[in-house]
Amino acid sequence: MISKQEIYFPRPSDFNDPFDGNIPIRWDLMTYKDCFKKNLDIINIKHKDKDQKSVREYAKKVTDEKTLWHPDKLKRERPEQLEKWNSIIGLLSLSSIPDNILMWSHYSFNHTGFVVGLDSKSLMEKYDFDYFESIVYQEYYPLITGDDDGTTQFYKKFFHKSELWKYENEWRISKNHMDKRVVKLEKDTIKEIIIGCRTTTKETNNIIKLTRKNLGFDVQIMKASQNKDNFKITIDTIE
């Protein structure tokens, strides 16, 4: 991040939460009537020149024969569909809270690492990302049905998580059709570096040196410390 200004977009399957991006589409809730309507819409698009009676008869035929949409055919998501999504989607998880003790403990090697503060406006305007949204936390799965369009299915799958993760205050960026999973940032997208309260003096000096060498003097450098009065960390500018 500091030396090369690069960020990595992992696959959904790389996350430590097995539910992340793995919310099922409830194909089992699709009725015969729902499937007939879907087939009717498809045939109407493909055969605009045919009269409605013929189109409806053909839609009934393909529904009965399970050629296109049919409840039995759609009971489970096909493994190849899930693998295709997993292979082309990249997800970057960010947090809006730089002083959360749990986040520092879990993602910064027990407060010995550092946080990189990014400019959200720059991320939204300067890069070809598909989504930049806050995560919705809830107790139950969002209901995803076959009637939902692809965009709705994607949002419900990849931007909803268990309420147990609420402490992360996550904002997520998604990028589809990724060949290379590394994205190069412009230097002015990086606005600040916050060094952990357990980072050694030697490492702190090394981070400062690398930051000034690679990012210049516009990036604010701060240091976290344990608060004297409560279970919080205080962040102060050191350069």
Give the number of other CB atoms < 10 A from CB of residue 230. 6
Taking only the tens place, the pLDDT of each residue in 104-119 is: 999 999 999 999 999 9
Single-letter amino acid, residue 159: F
Instruction: Give the residue from 72, 73, 75, 70 showing the smallest Cα distance to 59.
Output: 70
Instruction: List CB contacts of 224: < 8 A, sequence separation 6 or more.
Output: 99, 104, 111, 194, 195, 196, 197, 233, 234, 235
Which residue has 């292979």 as its token pair? 87
Cα angle: 190, vertex 196, 201; to 5 degrees: 105
Question: What is the value of pTM for the model shown?
Answer: 0.83
Provide the pLDDT for residue 127: 95
Taking only the tens place, the pLDDT of each residue in 38-94 is: 889 888 888 877 788 888 988 899 889 888 888 887 776 666 777 877 888 999 999
In angstroms, the CA 234 to CA 239 distance is 16
